[in-house]
């Protein structure tokens, strides 16, 4: 990561007093940031670190350790805060972690580590929760991270402003690369607030009022959100909570976004723009921006990748890919993403959903459940909807209602959604989830995306009962 540290050095010379990092406890200018990184680098070298596991809430200390680890030529492994003890132990073993840093307490700890063979030039390992089994380690090179940042800078530098608030956890690759490295590369300020200030409790609960309060006190110009967070902010804004007039650009990724939600966001003063990416390609593949935006699409591909569509309709990416998975040193030249999509005549990428999630009804109709689920985003009574129905005559769904939404309100919302859909794609029967899906209970991924197989296993019997009730 000398490319980023070299850039920070230039910023320290030309704008030494500009604030680079800010959290609740401290502010660091570009000049003092370099000093802090050098000091942490020395600590890591004294520990003999070669592979650094990085724990903690969003903070200045977390970013310093990340940068210092790369300056010390360590492989840096961010640890998702929701990982179980078993998953953390798996991460340590499979990556060969020999030093652990807890940013919340500023503690460094060494551990005995067996030798691990990593792909050439591996600089960072990001772990994805996956849909089954142990989390998978995606090995990234410094060159790949640089190409992503440079391509993002080309696309957003005129729009993002100079003050970014990190809302997603820093262990999330998207926030790590696009929310920290990109602003620092551009000489902007990265604003960091802990989960409590952002309104997060546990792994899946959020108080949007606290998030709104933090937005208005920190006054960022850019954010990165997953669709559900955007939806909550839109609901709050529509209830007349003040949207800070500082906001210039909100990137939304991590799931399909209903075009009407983007329109509602803009009408409420939230400048939201959809993008698409995955860890294997460095976190960002395509992105809409002001003046080059098409709601319902995920934007045009960035300059560091080449995107094509296979004969089966699957999105393929070339150009800036991972060095391989842990345990598999194969560096792919073309990545079959598993996502279905099309590229229109003007170059915009439209993502329809996961290929493995494609439902084929008993009548032979192909249905993307994400299409139906995104239509539900227009209904304020529905928090999360997961649709099933492969091999069935009718679609079913598990619903997480918004707080305070009665069963009657949910039923009315489902009826309104069904009116917008063709008959074969309508939700026939549904059940209410006992609580929200979370990474902690194994029913959601790191960024809150529902894990379909796990949810189906939990609610299969209830869905069958609901089918019998509706049928009779």
| pLDDT score at 274 | 96
Looking at residue 180, the DSSP 8-state letter turns out to be I
Report pTM. 0.86
Backbone angles phi, psi at 197, to 5 degrees: -65, -30
Q: Which residue spans of the chain are classified as CATH 3.40.50.12780?
A: 2-140, 143-356
pLDDT tens series, the chain, 472 aa: 689 999 999 999 999 999 999 999 999 999 999 999 999 999 999 999 999 999 999 999 999 999 999 999 999 999 988 787 888 999 999 999 999 999 999 999 999 999 899 998 999 999 986 444 578 899 999 999 999 999 999 999 999 999 999 999 999 999 999 999 999 999 999 999 999 999 987 655 788 899 999 999 999 999 999 888 998 899 999 999 999 999 999 999 887 788 889 999 999 999 999 999 999 999 999 999 999 999 889 999 999 999 999 999 999 999 999 999 998 878 899 999 999 999 999 999 999 888 888 888 876 788 889 889 999 988 999 999 999 998 888 999 999 999 889 999 999 999 999 999 888 899 999 999 988 888 778 888 766 788 899 999 999 999 998 888 876 5
If one counts every other C-beta atom within 10 angstroms of the C-beta of residue 164, the result is 26
Query: What's the rounded Cα separation, in Å, for the pair 403 and 95?
Result: 40
| pLDDT score at 391 | 86
Inter-CA distances, 208 with 196, 201, 231, Å: 11, 11, 10
If one counts every other C-beta atom within 10 angstroms of the C-beta of residue 207, the result is 14
Q: What is the dihedral angle through the alpha carbons of 129, 5, 335, 250, rounded to the nearest 10 degrees? A: 70
What CATH code would you report for 143-356? 3.40.50.12780
Query: What's the rounded Cα separation, in Å, for the pair 457 and 444?
Result: 13
| pLDDT score at 447 | 64
Domain 2-140 has CATH 3.40.50.12780: yes
Contacts of 460 (CB under 8 A, 6+ apart): none
Contact of 78 with 69, CB cutoff 8 Å: no
Contact of 262 with 241, CB cutoff 8 Å: no
The closest alpha carbon to 316, from 299, 339, 297, 294, belongs to: 339
| pLDDT score at 133 | 56
Q: CA geometry: angle at 314 spanning 308 and 316, to 5°?
A: 40
Contacts of 427 (CB under 8 A, 6+ apart): 372, 387, 395, 396, 397, 414, 417, 418
pLDDT digits (tens, 9 = 90+) for 427-446: 999 999 988 888 778 888 76
The DSSP H or E segment spanning 405 is: none
- Direct distance between the N- and C-terminal alpha carbons of the chain, in angstroms, rounded to an integer: 63
The DSSP H or E segment spanning 225 is: strand 222-225
Query: What's the rounded Cα separation, in Å, for the pair 210 and 109?
Result: 34
Transcribe 283-349 into DSSP letters.
S-SEE-BTTB--TTS--EEPTT-EEEE-TTSEEEEESS--SEETTB----SEEEEEEEEEE-TTS-E
Residues found in the chain: 472
- For 272: left if phi > 0, alpha if psi spans -120 to 50, otherwise beta; the answer is beta
Inter-CA distances, 271 with 170, 264, 325, 371, Å: 22, 10, 36, 23
The closest alpha carbon to 431, from 367, 377, 388, 371, belongs to: 388
Query: What's the rounded Cα separation, in Å, for the pair 96 and 110?
Result: 12
Q: Which residue spans of the chain are classified as CATH 3.30.300.30?
A: 358-471
The closest alpha carbon to 278, from 137, 151, 128, 95, belongs to: 128
| pLDDT score at 466 | 87
Sign of CA dihedral 378, 383, 389, 394: negative
The closest alpha carbon to 337, from 368, 306, 359, 292, belongs to: 306
The CATH number of 358-471, from 3.40.50.720, 3.40.50.10480, 3.40.630.10, 3.30.300.30, is 3.30.300.30
């Amino acid at each position: 990561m000398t490319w980023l540290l070299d850039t920070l050095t230039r910023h320290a010379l030309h704008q030494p007093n500009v604030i680079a990092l800010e959290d609740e406890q401290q502010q660091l200018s570009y000049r003092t940031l370099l000093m802090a990184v050098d000091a942490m680098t020395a600590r890591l070298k004294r520990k003999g670190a070669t592979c650094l596991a990085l724990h903690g809430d969003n903070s200045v200390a977390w970013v310093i350790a990340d940068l210092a680890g790369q300056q010390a030529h360590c492989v840096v492994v961010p640890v998702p805060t929701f990982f179980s003890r078993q998953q953390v132990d798996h991460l340590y073993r499979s990556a060969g972690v020999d030093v652990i840093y807890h940013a919340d307490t500023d503690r460094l700890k060494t551990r005995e580590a067996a030798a691990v063979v990593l792909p050439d030039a591996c600089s960072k390992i990001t772990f994805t929760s996956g849909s089954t089994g142990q989390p998978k380690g995606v090995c990234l090179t410094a060159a790949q991270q640089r190409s992503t940042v440079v391509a993002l800078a080309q696309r957003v530098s005129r729009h993002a402003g100079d003050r970014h608030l990190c809302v997603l956890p820093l262990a999330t690759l998207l926030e790590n690369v696009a929310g920290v490295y990109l602003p620092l590369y551009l000489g902007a300020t990265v604003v960091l607030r802990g989960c409590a200030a952002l309104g997060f409790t546990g792994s899946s609960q959020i108080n949007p009022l606290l998030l709104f309060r933090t937005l208005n006190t920190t006054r960022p110009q850019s954010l990165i959100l997953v669709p559900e967070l955007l939806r909550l902010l839109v609901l709050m804004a529509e209830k007349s909570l003040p949207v800070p007039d500082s906001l210039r650009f909100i990137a939304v990724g991590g799931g399909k976004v209903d075009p009407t939600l983007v329109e509602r966001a803009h009408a409420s003063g939230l400048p939201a723009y959809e993008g698409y990416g995955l860890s294997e390609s460095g976190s960002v593949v395509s992105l809409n921006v002001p003046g080059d935006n098409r709601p319902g699409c995920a934007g045009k591909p960035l300059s560091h990748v080449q995107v094509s569509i296979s004969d089966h309709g699957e999105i393929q990416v070339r150009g800036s890919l991972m060095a391989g998975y842990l345990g598999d040193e194969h560096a792919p030249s073309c990545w079959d993403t598993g996502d279905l999509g099309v590229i229109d005549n003007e170059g915009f990428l439209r993502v329809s959903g996961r290929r493995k999630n494609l439902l084929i009804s008993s009548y032979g109709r192909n249905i993307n459940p994400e299409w139906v689920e995104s239509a539900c985003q227009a209904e304020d009574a529905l928090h999360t909807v997961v649709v099933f129905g492969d091999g069935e005559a009718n679609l079913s769904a598990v619903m997480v209602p918004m707080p305070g939404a009665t069963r009657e309100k949910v039923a009315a919302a489902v009826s309104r959604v069904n009116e917008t859909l063709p008959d074969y794609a309508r939700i026939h029967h549904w059940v209410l989830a006992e609580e929200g899906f979370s990474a902690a209970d194994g029913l959601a991924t790191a960024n809150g995306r529902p894990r379909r197989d796990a949810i189906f296993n939990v609610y299969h019997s209830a869905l069958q009962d609901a089918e019998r009730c509706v049928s009779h």
